[in-house]
Amino acid sequence: MPARPLVVFDLDGTLADTAPDLIAILNGLLAEDGLPGMPVEQAGSLIGAGARALISRGFAGAGRELAPERLEALFERFLARYADAVCVETRLYPGVEATLDRLEAEGYAFAVCTNKPERHSLLLMDALGIAPRFAAICGRDTFAFCKPDPRHLEHTIARAGGVRDRAIMIGDSLTDIATAKAAGVPVIAVPFGYTDVPVAELDPDVVVEHFDAMAEAILRLLPPR
């Protein structure tokens, strides 16, 4: 039996607006050092490369460079706190659930390929109420490599029971676009996520402005057959 067409989503900035909770944890760490917090509006330049980068960029933005051992200590504190507050203000982007409904009815399967740690990804997807709809939820530590290494996407596709030539990637950043291109998978970009460069300049196959148009774009690029 042929593999079902598979839609692989990034998580932060693609399926869900996680910036309020991520920036809140970061600002708590900054406050403990007597440093000013970062406005959530700066999330685009801070989020997307993982928690270590978020912390490093946040402290650098407040004028403080972190030694490697201090960064690791803050990283562990960040992860512990985030696990307890992974979905306080985080919300799915409008239209996500309707998109999943439409594509599911057409026979598509779903997966997540994210640089968020797997534990936090599972916690968040469960809190958002959509985890059971996904055949695989793979984080930065699920495998021995993570985006932009194309093997992260390739192994996510395999874990979800899909095949590369029947898969598509949806993301919000250069990391997602570069990963998909390296894996030979078509990629749709959304412009409302976390990137400091407009996604239209990063050469995705399509830019979809709102999830209301997502299902039709996926049906065109990856027909259900």
Catalytic residues: 10
Q: What's the rounded Cα separation, in Å, for the pair 180 and 142?
A: 18
3-state secondary structure of 81: helix
Q: What's the rounded Cα separation, in Å, for the pair 26 and 55?
A: 6
Q: Yes or no: say if 7 and 110 are a contact pair by the CB < 8 Å rule.
A: yes
Name the packing angle between helices 19-32 and 51-61 (round to 10°): 50
Amino acid at site 176: D
Residues 6+ apart with CB under 8 A from 115: 48, 49, 50, 139, 140, 146, 147, 175
CA distances (Å), origin 150, targets 48, 93, 143: 16, 26, 12
How far is residue 169 CA from its own chain's centroid?
A: 11
Nearest by Cα to 165 from 175, 145, 176, 180: 180
